[in-house]
């Protein structure tokens, strides 16, 4: 009699243990997946890119080209290279500061929060996108809610819910992360009432700068017919040597 109890006891223990391991492994997975994807996206020490941004509206369309240098999360310098009317403007982000150099008025101006509420350069990118205060890894809890195929790639569908004290306006996010290369191919942003506010779609996945990345990003605000912003990478290099001093007000005027 004793033996049998022991054996069933052990089985139960093993089963329980397995369950625990399995659950932990499973739970961690969601966060890990997001972390991997996030690091792919931002983990590079520095970058240099040339981009074309097209702003699409029901009655008009506009294209802006620019060069961008970034270092870590806190430094970014952007130079507008086209169209001719906008050429020469540069934007500098240093931690929490946003500066703008405009050759037409020959002025270096520090931009207050209100200036960016209308979208950067008229696009659907907002203040929040640019200053990027929050981290999708640390500020959210994650849960895999399914699987879908996007652009012919199998993706995890993960729901991200902000933590109590997180500095995040969204109610929740849903991200589609490609299983093989951890590329973030689609994002849906929802407000606290569960209304979809914005969709971001990545496509044209190519090798660029030594990595596989979606080179075309579409930003679609919800509820507005015919509105979207398309950002395409024409060229990108990662981990180029960039001094902190590169990200200075003086350099804003000099950079080409």
Interaction mask 122-151, another protein, x per CB under 8 A: xx--xxx--x--------------------
Question: Shortest gap between Cβ of 45 and another protein (angstroms)?
Answer: 23
Calculate ∠ Cα 51-201-190, nearest 5°: 120
Alpha-carbon gap, residue 13 to 125, rounded angstroms = 53
The answer for residues whose C-beta is within 8 angstroms of residue 28's C-beta and 6 or more apart is none
Using the rule CB under 8 A, which residue among 13, 17, 169, 240 binds another protein? 169
Interaction mask 51-90, another protein, x per CB under 8 A: ----x-x--x-x----------------------xx--x-
Exposed / middle / buried, residue 241 (Cβ in 10 Å: 0-12, 13-18, 19+): exposed
**Does 49 contact another protein by CB under 8 A?**
no
The secondary element (H helix, E strand) that includes residue 176 is strand 172-178
Binding residues for another protein restricted to 197-226, rule: CB under 8 A: 197, 223
Nearer to another protein (CB atom), residue 1 or residue 105: 105
Question: Shortest gap between Cβ of 247 and another protein (angstroms)?
Answer: 15
Question: Shortest gap between Cβ of 109 and another protein (angstroms)?
Answer: 5
The secondary element (H helix, E strand) that includes residue 17 is helix 2-42
């Amino acid at each position: 009699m004793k033996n049998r109890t022991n054996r069933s006891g052990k089985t139960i223990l093993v089963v329980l243990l397995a369950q625990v391991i399995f659950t932990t492994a499973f739970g961690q997975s969601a966060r890990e997946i997001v972390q991997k994807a996030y690091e792919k996206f931002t983990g590079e020490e520095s970058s240099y890119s040339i981009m074309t941004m097209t702003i699409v509206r029901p009655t008009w369309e506009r294209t802006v080209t620019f060069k961008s240098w970034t270092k870590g999360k806190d430094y970014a310098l952007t130079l507008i290279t086209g169209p001719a009317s906008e050429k020469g403007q540069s934007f500098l982000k240093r931690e929490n500061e946003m500066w703008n150099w405009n050759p037409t008025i020959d002025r270096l101006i520090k931009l207050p929060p209100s200036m960016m509420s209308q979208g950067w350069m008229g696009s659907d990118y907002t203040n929040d996108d640019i200053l990027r205060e929050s981290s999708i890894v640390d500020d959210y809890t994650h849960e895999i809610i399914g699987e879908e195929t996007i652009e012919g790639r199998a993706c995890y569908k993960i729901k991200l819910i902000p933590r109590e004290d997180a500095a995040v306006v969204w109610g929740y996010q849903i991200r589609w992360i490609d299983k093989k290369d951890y590329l973030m191919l689609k994002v849906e942003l929802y407000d606290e009432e569960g209304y979809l506010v914005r969709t971001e779609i990545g496509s044209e996945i190519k090798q660029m700068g030594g990595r596989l990345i979606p080179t075309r990003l579409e930003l679609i605000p919800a509820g507005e017919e015919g509105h979207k912003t398309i950002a395409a990478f024409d060229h990108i290099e990662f981990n180029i040597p960039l001094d902190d001093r590169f990200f200075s007000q003086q350099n804003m005027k000099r950079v080409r």
